[in-house]
Structure 1
Amino acid sequence: MVTAITEGIKVSVETTYQAEFSSPHQHHYVFTYKVKIENNSSHTIQLMRRKWEIIDAGDNTKFVEGDGVVGLQPVLEPGTSHEYVSGCNLRSGLGKMRGLYIMEKLFDGKLIEVRIPEFQLISDIFDN
């Protein structure tokens, strides 16, 4: 698990290689990642947008952005957290992801960029 803290917002990520959904002979590797966002600040915040950089060792780099996470724009009051699971596909069994969340402080409308820590995507073929 990797963790980053920005302005009291803690983002932790844990990854899993999904061998049963992958086809290495067809260059198709599936990974899931579980994200926990904890609001340790004194302000209520809302996750508005996400921006990801997905780096595949055997291919190229993709940039993905959009509203919220898995169809939600959660509001986190001080001391609360939000968890979700998502995934990505790579053409190689080795890669990494990093990014940021755009969050709004609801008391004044200020937008902040919360860092998502870089995490590794490693398939079973590299787990020796």
Structure 2
Amino acid sequence: MREIWFDGSRCVACLTCALACAIEHTPEKSLFTALRNRAALRSRMEVRVTEGFLLPVQCRHCSNPPCLYACMASAVSRDGETGIVSVDGRRCVSCLMCVMVCPLGAISVSGDGMAPLRCDRCPERDVP
């Protein structure tokens, strides 16, 4: 499975990881082009400060994902080969049950009525 590793001792909370995530999910894949075209930059992860520690929060693609069972539209699925949990935006009815049951708080609301956002581990890249 494609994993994302985090070394908290080296993190300075610059949020470059969140910016890179947001840029990767724009059609242009370029910060300058996205800004020029006024594309909405939406990261699929965030960095939180918890008891003095920095912690990246993104979907961990649980082995037994509560969001999969909570989705009344069957829009959440898990790839048996890669283990990646994803949302089919065409089936999602925006009930936000997946957001409510996520134990990590790693699923965010897009704000424009679209399917909730979660880390997809950048399927079109060799390395997330």
Q: TM-score range by the shorter chain?
A: under 0.3
- How high is the TM-score relative to the length of structure 1? 0.26
Larger RCO of the pair (alpha carbons < 8 Å, separation 6+):
1
More strand per residue: 1
* Structure with greater helix percent: 2
> TM-score, structure 2 length as denominator?
0.26
